[in-house]
Amino acid sequence: MPWGLLKYGFSKKYPARQDIPPNKELKNSYDVIIIGGGGHGAAIAYHLARYHGITNVAVLDKGYIGGGNTARNTAVIRSNYITPESVDFYKESVELYKQLSNELGYNMLYSQRGQLTLAHSDASMRTFRLRAEVNKQCGVRSEMVDREQIRELVPCLNLDKNARYPIIGGLWHKDGGTARHDSVAWGYAMRASQLGVEFHQRTEVTDIKQSNGRVTGVVTNRGTVNCKDVVQAVAGMSTIVAKMAGIQLPIRTFPLQAMVTQPLKPFVDPLVSSAALHCYISQTARGEIVIGGGSDPYELYSTRSSLDLKEGLIGHLLEMFPFLSEVKLLRQWTGMTDMTPDYSPIMGETPLQNYWIDGGWGTWGFKATPIAGKRMAETVARGRAPDQIRPFSLSRFRTYHLSNEAGATAASH
Q: Which is nearer to another protein, 49 or 205 (CB)?
A: 205
- How far is residue 372's CA from residue 307's CA, in Å, rounded to a whole number? 34
Piece of the chain touching another protein by CB under 8 A; list 16-24, 105-113, 189-197, 244-252: 244-252
Contact 296, 256 (CB under 8 A): yes
Distance CA 54, CA 51 (A): 8
308 binds, options another protein, ligand FAD, none, Cβ within 5 to 8 A by partner type: another protein
Q: Is 253 in the site for another protein (CB under 8 A)?
A: yes
CA distance 141 to 145: 13
Residues 272-331 that bind another protein (CB under 8 A): 297-302, 304, 306-308
Per CB under 6 A, 182 contacts ligand FAD: no
Residue 75 binds which of ligand FAD, another protein, none (CB < 5-8 A, kind-dependent): ligand FAD
The separation between CA 177 and the C-alpha centre of its own chain, rounded to angstroms, equals: 13
Residue 294: phi, psi to the nearest 5? -100, 115
Select the span of 26-34, 116-124, 364-372, 404-412 touching ligand FAD (CB under 6 A): 364-372
Cβ neighbours of residue 21 under 8 Å, at least 6 residues apart? 193, 199
Beta-bridge partner residues of 231: 34, 356
Element (H, E) at 186: helix 181-194
Compute the distance between CA of residue 196 and CA of residue 55 in angstroms, rounded to an integer. 5
CA geometry: angle at 108 spanning 131 and 173, to 5°? 15
Minimum CB–partner distance for residue 338 and another protein (Å): 9
Whether the Cβ atoms of residue 105 and residue 192 lie closer than 8 Å to each other: no
160: amino acid identity, one letter: D
Q: For another protein, give the closer residue by CB, 10 or 400.
A: 400
Residue of 64, 46, 39 lying closest to 185 (CA atoms):
39
Q: Shortest approach of another protein to residue 22 CB, angstroms?
A: 30
Instruction: Confirm if 199 and 189 have CB atoms less than 8 A apart.
Output: yes
Instruction: State whether the Cα torsion 20-26-30-36 is positive or negative.
Output: positive
Binding of another protein by 400 (CB under 8 A): yes
Segment interacting with another protein (CB under 8 A) among 56-64, 194-202, 260-268, 396-404: 396-404
364 binds, among another protein, ligand FAD, none (CB under 5 to 8 A by kind): ligand FAD
> Smaller CB distance to ligand FAD: residue 50 or 72?
72
User: Total number of residues binding another protein (CB under 8 A)?
Assistant: 23
Question: Could you tell me the sign of the dihedral formed by the alpha carbons of 239, 241, 244, 245, in that order?
Answer: negative
CB-nearer residue toward another protein: 100 or 394: 394
In the complex with another protein, the residue whose CB is nearer, 146 or 299, is: 299
> Does 398 engage in binding with another protein (CB under 8 A)?
yes
CB of 52 to ligand FAD, least distance (A): 19
Cα(64)–Cα(190) distance, rounded to whole angstroms? 14
Each residue 329-348 as x (binds another protein by CB under 8 A) or -, in order, gives: ------------x-------
| Closest listed residue to residue 182, CA positions, set 50, 369, 33, 361 | 369
Minimum CB separation of residue 122 from ligand FAD in Å reads 27
d(C-alpha 29, C-alpha 20), whole Å: 20
Whether the Cβ atoms of residue 363 and residue 336 lie closer than 8 Å to each other: no
Residue 204 in the binding site for ligand FAD (CB under 6 A): yes
Q: At residue 192, what are phi and psi to the nearest 5 degrees? A: -65, -40
Closest approach of ligand FAD to the CB of residue 23, in Å: 13
Does residue number 120 form part of the binding site for ligand FAD (CB under 6 A)?
Answer: no
Sequence letter at residue 287: G
292-311: contacts with ligand FAD (CB under 6 A):
292-293
Q: Which of 26, 108, 251, 256 binds ligand FAD (CB under 6 A)?
A: 256
Burial of 32 (0-12, 13-18, 19+ CB in 10 A): buried
Binding of another protein by 251 (CB under 8 A): yes
Among 35, 179, 281, 314, binds ligand FAD (CB under 6 A): 35
Answer for which of 20, 58, 76, 231 binds ligand FAD (CB under 6 A) is 76
Compute the least distance from the CB of residue 398 to another protein, in Å: 5
Give the footprint of ligand FAD on this chain (CB under 6 A). Answer: 35-41, 60-63, 67-70, 72-76, 204-205, 233-235, 237, 241, 256, 258, 292-293, 335, 337, 361, 363-367, 413
The residues of the shown chain that bind another protein, judged by CB under 8 A, are 239-240, 248-253, 297-302, 304, 306-308, 341, 397-400
